[in-house]
Amino acid sequence: MTIQEAARRSGPACRSRTGAATPACSGRGPHTGERRRMLEAHRVRVTARIAELSQDLGVLDYRINLRKETS
């Protein structure tokens, strides 16, 4: 018996409240539609984070240019 099989049989993290093996432990991931929704949500979060970082970079560039002008 492999470690994965043992965990699948007895590990509490691999069991749902009903005692059934969860998809993560059965070796099967989320279905295509669910995976697509997860990836889309991740893409939206990443896009928002890139926008925040771009704005921060713009502020830093502005401050650097101000210091160069006053020096």
Choice between 55 and 30, residue whose per-residue pLDDT is larger: 55
- Residues 31-44 have a mean pLDDT of 94
Burial classification of residue 25, based on how many CB atoms lie within 10 Å of its CB (0-12 exposed, 13-18 middle, 19 or more buried): middle
- Per-residue confidence (pLDDT) for residue 29, from 0 to 100: 74
Whether the pLDDT of residue 8 is over 60: the answer is: no
User: Taking all residues of the chain, what is their mean pLDDT, rounded to a whole number?
Assistant: 79
* Mean per-residue pLDDT, 25-38: 80
